[in-house]
Amino acid sequence: MEEDRLTLARISVTNFNETPLHVAAMLGHAAFAKALVGYQPNLVRELDSQGCSPLHLASANGHVEIVKLLLMEDSSVCHGRDQDGRTPLHLAVMKGRGDVIRELVSAQEQVTRYTLDCGETILHLCVKHNHLEALKRLVELDGVDDDLANAQDHNGNTILHTATALKQIETMKYLLREPPFVKVNALNANNFTALDVIQHMPRDIKSVDIRDLLVTAGALRAIDLSPVSRATNPATTGDDHDNGITTSQRSRTKMLAWWNKIRKVMQNPAGRESPLEMGKDYDPLLVAAALIASMAYQATLSPPGGLSDEMSFWIFNTLSFVAALSVVFLVVCGLPLNQRVFAWVLTVIMWVATTFMAAAYVQSMMVLKPGSATHTHGINAIQKSVVAWLSLFGVVSVVHIYRFLMWITRMYRKKRVSSPRSHGESSV
**Nearest-angstrom CA–CA distance, 198 and 128:** 16
* Residue 6, pLDDT score: 75
In this structure, which amino acid lies at residue 163? A
Q: How far is CA 295 from CA 301, 310, 331, 391, 403, in A?
A: 10, 18, 20, 25, 32
Would you say 346 and 312 are in contact if contact means Cβ atoms under 8 Å apart?
no
**Nearest-angstrom CA–CA distance, 343 and 121:** 47
* Residue 258, pLDDT score: 60
SS (H, E, C) the chain: CCCCCCCCHHHHHCCCCCCHHHHHHHHCCHHHHHHHHHHCHHHHHCCCCCCCCHHHHHHHHCCHHHHHHHHHHCHHHHHCCCCCCCCHHHHHHHHCCHHHHHHHHHHCHHHHHCCCCCCCCHHHHHHHCCCHHHHHHHHHCCCCCHHHHCCCCCCCCCHHHHHHHCCCHHHHHHHCCCCCCCCCCCCCCCCCCHHHHHHCCCCCHHHHHHHHHHHHCCCCCHHHCCHHHHHCCCCCCCCCCCCCCCHHHHHHHHHHHHHHHHHHHHCCCCCCCCHHHHCHHHHHHHHHHHHHHHHHHHHHHCCCCCCCCCHHHHHHHHHHHHHHHHHHHHHHCCCCCCCHHHHHHHHHHHHHHHHHHHHHHHHHHCCCCCCCHHHHHHHHHHHHHHHHHHHHHHHHHHHHHHHHHHHHHHHHHHHHHHCCCCHHHHHC
**Nearest-angstrom CA–CA distance, 34 and 68:** 10
Would you say 87 and 63 are in contact if contact means Cβ atoms under 8 Å apart?
no
In this structure, which amino acid lies at residue 145? D
* Residue 160, pLDDT score: 92
**Nearest-angstrom CA–CA distance, 117 and 239:** 24
- From first to last of its 428 residues, what are the pLDDT tens digits of the chain? 778 777 777 776 566 678 889 999 999 999 999 999 988 888 899 888 889 999 999 999 999 999 999 999 999 999 999 999 999 999 999 999 999 999 999 998 889 889 998 889 999 999 999 999 999 888 888 667 788 888 999 989 999 999 999 999 999 999 988 777 788 899 998 889 999 899 888 888 888 898 888 888 888 888 888 665 555 565 544 444 333 444 554 555 556 556 555 555 555 444 444 444 444 556 777 788 888 888 888 887 777 765 666 778 888 889 989 988 888 888 777 666 666 667 778 888 888 888 888 888 877 777 655 555 555 666 676 777 777 777 877 887 788 788 778 878 877 776 665 444 434 443 33
**Nearest-angstrom CA–CA distance, 111 and 138:** 12
* Residue 291, pLDDT score: 86
* Residue 278, pLDDT score: 46
Q: How far is CA 35 from CA 40, 70, 162, 180, 397, in A?
A: 9, 12, 44, 48, 88
Give me the sign of the Cα torsion angle 356, 360, 365, 369.
positive
Q: How far is CA 370 from the centre of its chain?
A: 68
